[in-house]
Structures are given as C-alpha cells and as structure tokens.
C-alpha cells in the first residue's frame, strides 16, 4: 500500500482535501460518490497497516464508532466495501473546542456550561454502553456554529465488557498529560471515572483560562497529579461560584472512588449547580494541610510496622529480673539485695556503726 493523495479515489470516495496529518494517519475530506455527501476519511500511513497491535486498535476504533449514534458524537459510517484500512466519518463544519478556548480566555460561564452539559450527555450515553473514551481533551471535541459539540477520535477508547488487549506493544500509560487522570499515570486501564476527570479538567480550563495544575514539564505535572490537590478555581477567578467550584473539585479528585461515579451523576449536578453544597475554602485548606502524599505515607507505614514488630520481639524476650540479681549477689558472697558490690539497706544494718532493722 502507498500513501494516498488529494485527487485520488479510494473505493467510493474521491479525496478532495487534506484536513490534517499525524504521525500515524492522514485525515482527508472526500466526496461519497454513492450519495454525493461530504465525508472524512482517516487513512493510516502504510507502514502501520501491517502492525498487528495498530490494526487491532484501528479496527476497534471503527467498531466502537459504528455502535454509537448520538447528536454529540461524530458518526462513523460504513462503506459498501473496503480495499484497505480506513475509517469513514461524517464531516462536521466547525472549530475545535481548543480553538474556541484560545479565542476567549476564560470562556463565559453560560457558554462553558452549555458545552460541558452536552459533552457530558454524550459521555453518559457512552458509559451506559460500557464504552470509555480515555482521551477527552479540547482537541477531540468539534463545535459547530450552532454551539453543538461533537466528540471524536476513539483511538484509545475501550469497551469495558470486552476482552482486554494484552500485547506487549500496547502501552498502558496512554492519554494527554494535561487531561489524564492520576490512575492512568500509574498505568491502570481506567474506567468511566477517568472520563469524568478529563471533562472536569476541560470545564475548569474553560471557566478559568488555566489548568488545575501548573508544572514546569510533563514529568513534574504527572507527579503533581499523583500527589497534590488541584488549585481551586477561585484562586484564578475571584468570586468564582462556590457550588460550581465544588462540582469541579469533586470531578478532579485524585482517587477515583472520591469522584462522581460516572458521567450521569456529574450531569445531574451540572444541570442544577445551585443545588450543590458550596465549596468551603477553610475545609479545603485543612484537607490539603493534613493530607500526606502516597510516596511519603507508604514509607511511614513501613517504619511503623517495623517498629511494632521490634516492640513485640523485645517484649517477648526474657530479661534479667531483681531476683536474678539477688541470686548472683549471693553466689558472690555479697549481702542479699545488693548489686554490683553496693550493700542493700538490710546489709548496711549488719555493718559496724549502722543500726539494724530491729533497732530502728
């Protein structure tokens, strides 16, 4: 197989323009000769078509896309026949969410909430079908002129009900650092709460113009996500709505068990933020003050366990008692009760110049 170019025909599709190129695939705008509609083709570079792991990922991306039909998800279409590996998608006229965020920082609360709610609706729809996206970020959301966001790129999504890929070539730590959940950093597969974390980060950025963590490099960022709490939005936006702040910080909890259980639960709060208990800055500061990072906590636990074992061993070991010392003194001919040659009170009473116990 060779690289495709504009003007060429691939099965029923006439390639008319290059929309983007990445390290793994080219994205073409094309005309479907069977229907006359404009579509998008994602065609992998030839060198990847023989890669077993890449092929399985690509096949899975298409399979998951064909199962989803939601107004806020880019539709994947099924061609009549395929002569090589590629994915056909609906053409969406609009801008990426990243482009919109760059035009206005921060974004208005009403606009940001409207977009987040629609994206959350799509995630809730996916999660009901056991599909987790795992790479939610502004670049993977297209927004139409009418303000309708559409999720795309299911390249690393997975079906929680299906078997897991186990090839060594398939990296566990995948995603985009700024939007990755802490569990992804540790190489875990993630679940629906991973998408909740990513959407929380996107909404945070829309509302503040900043990210929840600031770091000098990706490695420092990943360490911060694993060990520190996010910066409250009110730090960047004075007067930030406390209820909305509580929603964001819950979505961004480091531990998945402390986050929203899924997109449906987050959606309920986004639709009615006024019903959420406002964030208490004092409690938040106290929590950060007394929180112990896992990298510090684990050594502390080990030290405490070792100290406890040492104490048990010491207590169970026989020690020299007072009677033992008296026996040793008697064997040496010393007065009873003396130790190391020092007379006891009873012994002193038998020496010249010292009254006995009876005379006292």
Residues with a catalytic annotation lie at 135
Strand-pair category, 141-144 with 25-32: unpaired
Question: Rg of the chain's alpha carbons, rounded to an integer?
Answer: 34
Closest by CA position to 200, among listed 265, 108, 280: 265
Closest by CA position to 54, among listed 87, 32, 88, 78: 87
Neighbours of 62 (CB within 10 A): 21
End-to-end CA distance of the chain: 115
**From edge to edge, which strands make up the β-sheet containing 141-144?**
94-96, 141-144, 149-151
**d(Cα 181, Cα 183) in Å, to the nearest integer?**
5
Q: Which residues pair with 25 in a beta bridge?
A: 44
For residue 24, the SS3 value is coil
Contact at 8 Å (CB) between 184 and 195? no
Per-residue tokens: 90: 């609906």
Contact at 8 Å (CB) between 259 and 186? no
Supply the DSSP symbol for 229: P
229 contact partners, CB below 8 Å, separation of at least 6 = 254, 284, 287, 288, 291
Q: Which residues pair with 89 in a beta bridge?
A: 40, 76
């Amino acid at each position: 197989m060779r690289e495709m170019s504009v003007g060429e025909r691939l099965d029923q599709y006439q390639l008319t323009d290059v929309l983007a190129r990445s390290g793994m695939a080219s994205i073409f705008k094309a005309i479907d000769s069977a229907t006359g509609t404009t579509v998008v083709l994602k065609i992998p570079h030839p060198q990847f078509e023989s890669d077993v792991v890449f092929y399985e990922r690509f096949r899975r991306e298409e399979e998951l896309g064909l199962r989803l039909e939601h107004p806020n998800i880019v539709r994947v279409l099924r061609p009549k026949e395929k002569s090589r590996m590629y994915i056909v998608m609906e053409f969406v006229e609009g801008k990426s969410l990243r482009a919109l965020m760059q035009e206005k920082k921060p974004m208005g609360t009403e606009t940001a909430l409207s977009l987040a709610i629609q994206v959350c609706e799509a995630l809730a729809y996916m999660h009901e079908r056991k599909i987790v996206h795992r790479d939610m970020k502004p670049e993977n959301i297209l927004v139409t002129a009418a303000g309708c966001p559409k999720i795309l790129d299911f390249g690393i999504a997975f079906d929680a009900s299906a078997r897991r890929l186990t090839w060594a070539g398939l990296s566990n730590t995948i995603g985009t650092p700024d939007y990755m959940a802490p569990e992804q950093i540790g190489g875990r597969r993630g679940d629906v709460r991973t998408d909740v974390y990513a959407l929380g980060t996107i909404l945070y950025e829309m509302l503040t113009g900043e990210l929840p963590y600031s770091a000098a490099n990706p490695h420092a960022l990943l360490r911060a996500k694993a060990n520190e709490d996010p910066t409250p939005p009110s730090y960047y936006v004075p007067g930030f709505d406390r209820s909305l702040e509580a929603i964001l910080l819950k979505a961004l909890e480091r531990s998945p068990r402390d986050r929203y259980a899924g997109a449906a639960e987050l959606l309920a709060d986004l639709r009615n933020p006024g019903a959420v208990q406002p964030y208490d800055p004092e409690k938040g500061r106290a929590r950060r003050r007394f929180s112990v990072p896992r990298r510090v906590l684990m050594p502390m636990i080990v030290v405490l366990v070792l100290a406890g074992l040492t104490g048990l061993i010491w207590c169970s070991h026989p020690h020299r008692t007072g009677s033992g010392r008296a026996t040793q003194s008697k064997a040496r001919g010393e007065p009873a009760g003396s130790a190391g040659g020092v007379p006891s009170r009873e012994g002193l009473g038998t020496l010249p110049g010292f009254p006995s116990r009876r005379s006292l």
